[in-house]
Amino acid sequence: MTTVQKIKEVEDEMARTQKNKATSYHLGQLKAKLAKLRRELIGPSGSGGGGGGGLGFDVARTGIASVGFVGFPSVGKSTLMSKLTGTHSEASEIDFTTLTTVPGTLKVHGAPIQILDLPGIIEGANDGRGRGRQVIAVARTCNLIFIVLDVLKPLGDKTLIESELEGFGIRLNKKPPNVTVRKKERGGVAITNTVPLTDIDHDEIKAVLSEYKINNADVAIRQAGITADDLVDVIEGNRVYIPAIYVLNKIDAISIEELDLLYKIPMSVPVSSRDWLNIDELVEKMWDTLNLVRVYTKPRGLAPDYSSPVVLRRGKCTIEDFCNSIHKEIVKQMKYAVVWGASAKHSRGQKVGLDHVLEDEDVVHISKK
């Protein structure tokens, strides 16, 4: 039996098994089994020849963040990318027009954002069908994914794309589960939870652990609504958590009433790439979701330079990160920094050191020794 067949078999059994107290152990086992089979499929020894599928397919990363376009063929990815960036990427009514990654750059609020147009994927892409695996491998390394959908096609396509990405270890619009599993030498499995367990019970936790041959461990659950799938994600460990925006394209072809319904989909922006409708909202949503930090430099005695911000990623935006992104030597030469803006304690300008964390639109002066 191939891995794909084995996966199908486990999925069928899960579908047949009703969730209740008596079956929770069995279901936990099945979920862990499924995760291990999926790993086999995308791992280096997988039947499709390796999960490092981005090789020869990926492109050099430029700019402060990369946004990858994922969707079925002919939904309008290339049309959108070409117009956004001014880089030509062939578009046509024929499916699979785009055959490799096509990069372009879009400047948003002074920050260069890399846009990656990708080939269309098909259902079963993460099982190694078509070039889907390589496409998803590139998407895995992006800072934001645009899931592009054609509003003229059934919205079930949304679920299909999501499960393709999830099957490859990508978690969309989700934070890593606040769960730790600490293996130990002896003592069995000890479970502590700071919140009530609603979607998983002790039997299920033990079943998942035993499937991974973990017989001694401290499990700490600090978040409500944790499921067996979350626990599997924590144990597998190689999941990536990426924000996604659903781009609902081709709204030029539908009625206002139909458009109203689309607005109910979370994290979505209806647009028309062809007629350039609502693209401003899409770019703003992209900017907000990327959550970048712009910092303006202020030379001594001069006004801040608002024309070209230094753009940093949140979580990596200390004074030290700021200095390093200008020039490696600056940190050594700096005596102190002065900050104005949201991260400063007062409006006169606060004297700070290298570990000070900056906020969007702060102004910084570096004083040298």
Cβ closest to Mg ion, residue 77 vs residue 171: 77
Segment contacting ligand GTP (CB under 6 A): 34-42, 122-130, 248-256, 311-319?
A: 248-256
Cβ closest to ligand GTP, residue 97 vs residue 141: 97
75 makes contact, choosing from ligand GTP, Mg ion, none, with CB < 5 to 8 Å by partner type, with: ligand GTP
Q: To the nearest whole angstrom, how small is the minimum distance from the Cβ of residue 164 to Mg ion?
A: 17
Q: Which residues pair with 166 in a beta bridge?
A: none
Is residue 158 near ligand GTP by the rule CB under 6 A? no
CA distance from start to end of the chain: 69
Is residue 3 near ligand GTP by the rule CB under 6 A? no
Is residue 78 near Mg ion by the rule CB under 5 A? yes
Is residue 253 near ligand GTP by the rule CB under 6 A? yes
Q: To the nearest whole angstrom, how small is the minimum distance from the Cβ of residue 328 to ligand GTP?
A: 40
Residue in 242, 244, 245, 243 with CA at minimum distance from that of residue 282: 245
Segment contacting ligand GTP (CB under 6 A): 214-222, 247-255, 303-311, 312-320?
A: 247-255
Cβ closest to ligand GTP, residue 68 vs residue 309: 68
Tell me if 281 sits within 8 A of 260, measured CB to CB.
no
Cβ closest to ligand GTP, residue 41 vs residue 148: 148
Is residue 272 near ligand GTP by the rule CB under 6 A? yes
Residue 30-69 contact track with Mg ion, rule CB under 5 A, x = bound: ----------------------------------------
Segment contacting ligand GTP (CB under 6 A): 96-104, 168-176, 214-222, 328-336?
A: 96-104
Residue in 323, 317, 316 with CA at minimum distance from that of residue 337: 323
* Number of residues engaging ligand GTP in binding (CB under 6 A): 24
Binding site for Mg ion (CB under 5 A): 77-78, 97-98
Binding site for ligand GTP (CB under 6 A): 71, 73-79, 91-93, 95-98, 119-120, 249-250, 252-253, 272-274
